[in-house]
Chain A
Amino acid sequence: MSDARLSVLKTYKLYVGGKFPRSESGRVYEVTDSKGTWLANAPLSSRKDARDAVVAARKAFGAWSGATAYNRGQILYRIAEMLEGRRDQYVREVAEAEGLSKAKAAQQVDAAIDRWVWYAGWTDKIAQVVGGANPVAGPYFNLSSPEPTGVVAVLAPQKSSFLGLVSVVAPVIATGNTAVVVAGERVPLPALSLGEVLATSDLPGGVVNILSGRTAEIAAPLAAHQDVNAIDLAGADEALAKELEIAAADNLKRVLRPQPVDDWSATPGTERMTAFLETKTVWHPTGALGASGSSY
């Protein structure tokens, strides 16, 4: 017997509603590395896959946005733990997808894992930063608190296959939104593998749904979809972004325009979180005031 083993090729599948379906259309496309060598076939999603993903994301929204911020933080940290265990796999996938050396790819993966931890910490702190008690002239409390927007369509960056992906997905779900992610068209494999990690990280099914395929084809129905509340155009080029923004305007979707990012490893700040938060302000009576003019 020779030592040569038949290679076991991986079938990359979508991640929708906590399950791993193939594309409804049955289509696949060839994914190559940066030099053009065939790596794998990825599902070529259709608009109906996008529709199904939105249904799954909507269904998951109630429980995810209602979970405590602390619980969301724990789950996001768990994702980082799970990624750490599969670090080698991601290093290989990122190196192949982006044409990086092993060391460079490892840097990217480490930064991506750290980013999950970073956002895990933010889940129960963002409300203190962007919300708060407002001073009012009257016997009332006036409180502002950030609320998640709802279902967010995320077009992942086309170049940074993993760090860029994590940098756009994590802030969306950290604040309680659910996401429909369109992986980078030429570099979908790290994104599809991320689904396998999310499925084993206590993240409820449907909170993140990952589609691969032609960005323009999947993004158009998502931008026009009446049940998608916001869209992040990070992975759209200028012409596509304009077209999608017009489609999104019809039902007043929140749109995050693509911003040039040279280096995804820079500390991101809170912008990507606040972009998909809405401020809810409530009045609440303080109760009867005593003789001192204060109820405390």
Chain B
Amino acid sequence: MPTTAPAAPAPDASAASASGLADVTASDSTLRRFLHGLPGVDAVGLEARAASLGTRSIKTTAKAYALDLAISMVDLTTLEGADTPGKVRALGAKAVHPDPTDRATPSAAAVCVYPDMVPFAKEAVAGSDVKVASVATAFPAGRASMAVKLADVREAVAAGADEVDMVIDRGAFLSGNYLKVHDEITAVKETCGTSARLKVIFETGELSTYDNIRRASWLGMLAGADFIKTSTGKVAVNATPANTLLMLEAVRDFRAQTGVQIGVKPAGGIRTAKDAIKFLVLVNETAGADWLDNHWFRFGASSLLNDLLMQRQKLATGRYSGPDYVTVD
């Protein structure tokens, strides 16, 4: 399946079968046996590691590099009931030129909108490298029939979305119906076809345990996700360093086993440049430098970009910037 992946081959069935994972998804019981056979997560150790990696001091040139990298990884998101075409256009313009006063600022990775806003977003980012991502499958709850979910995806892809962010059926996952979740992801992946990359949202805040997050990660990767994403940003607990670290470990292990590289996208709750840099440290120390690229790592955020820009201005001018010098959104 051709993608624009620079480093690793796209996920396909042959890679999974070569590594002996093909029969894992053959039936509900084999899938459950595999997911429950994954090693349990040491919660204390995980949180301690995430916290200790968050204490790295990133200064001067390294900070400048990290800020630019983080800006280039932002999926600039607006997912409100009150979204208007005008707001989406403004967001698109901002994604292309985040800081109009400094054209050396890199573009954001993508704008992330609801499916009906995709045409406006497409138009706004036309002629740039900025992608358009669309949430789909009855985002954010995912409580709709399969036919509705697939129609949602079809509409987004037809409107030209480069990326589709789907939510898994948490109800099915938590009740142990793993094969249903797997088949839904596979069906959505099929509907995306070759034109759109698929991000699978687990809503980690609703999965209760780290063990569940690890299982969901593997389930998503086995089903053909191009990206695994923490959350919708619509619940109380969103991306945390610990659950992102856990997902980074999963993609690292998955590549080691199958040779297939999967992206990671923490979303929601990342508001400051300092937080973003902590996540970049996690990426580098866990998955490795191969993931330090906006093809493989994204931040789902809206207000984060403003803070990154203010920090960038501070670094360039030596004086603290303020919210008067970035957009209001």
Binding site for B on A (CB under 8 A): 51, 54, 58, 221, 224-228, 247, 250
Binding site for A on B (CB under 8 A): 313, 318-325
> Are B322 and A221 in contact (CB-based, < 8 A)?
no
> Are A226 and B322 in contact (CB-based, < 8 A)?
yes
> Are A227 and B318 in contact (CB-based, < 8 A)?
no
Residue of A nearest to B321 (CB): A226
Q: How far is the CA of A250 from the CA of B313 in the complex (A)?
A: 14
Tell me which residues across on chain B come within 8 A of A247, comparing CB atoms: 319
Tell me which residues across on chain A come within 8 A of B320, comparing CB atoms: 51, 54, 221, 224-227
> Are A225 and B323 in contact (CB-based, < 8 A)?
no
Q: How far is the CA of A58 from the CA of B321 in the complex (A)?
A: 12
Name which of A224, A226, A228, A250 has the most chain B CB atoms within 10 A of its CB: A226
Residue of B nearest to A151 (CB): B322
Tell me which residues across on chain B come within 8 A of A58, comparing CB atoms: 322-323
Instruction: Offer 16 A-B interface pairs, CB within 8 angstroms, sorted by A.
Output: A51-B320, A54-B320, A58-B323, A221-B319, A221-B320, A225-B319, A226-B313, A226-B319, A226-B320, A226-B321, A226-B322, A226-B324, A226-B325, A227-B321, A227-B324, A228-B322
Q: How far is the CA of A51 from the CA of B318 in the complex (A)?
A: 13
Q: How far is the CA of A228 from the CA of B324 in the complex (A)?
A: 10
Shortest CB-to-CB span from A149 to chain B, Å, is 13
Shortest CB-to-CB span from B200 to chain A, Å, is 36
Given A221-B319, A226-B313, A227-B320, 9 more A-B residue pairs with CB atoms under 8 Å apart are: A51-B320, A58-B323, A224-B318, A224-B319, A226-B319, A226-B324, A227-B322, A227-B324, A250-B319
Name which of B319, B320, B325 has the most chain A CB atoms within 10 A of its CB: B320
Name which of B318, B322, B324, B325 has the most chain A CB atoms within 10 A of its CB: B322
Tell me which residues across on chain B come within 8 A of A227, comparing CB atoms: 320-324
Shortest CB-to-CB span from A150 to chain B, Å, is 9
Q: How far is the CA of A226 from the CA of B314 in the complex (A)?
A: 10
Q: How far is the CA of A224 from the CA of B313 in the complex (A)?
A: 13
Tell me which residues across on chain B come within 8 A of A226, comparing CB atoms: 313, 319-322, 324-325
Residue of A nearest to B319 (CB): A224
Name which of B313, B319, B323, B325 has the most chain A CB atoms within 10 A of its CB: B319
Q: How far is the CA of A58 from the CA of B322 in the complex (A)?
A: 9
Shortest CB-to-CB span from B246 to chain A, Å, is 31
Residue of B nearest to A250 (CB): B319
Tell me which residues across on chain B come within 8 A of A54, comparing CB atoms: 320, 322
Name which of A51, A54, A58, A227 has the most chain B CB atoms within 10 A of its CB: A227
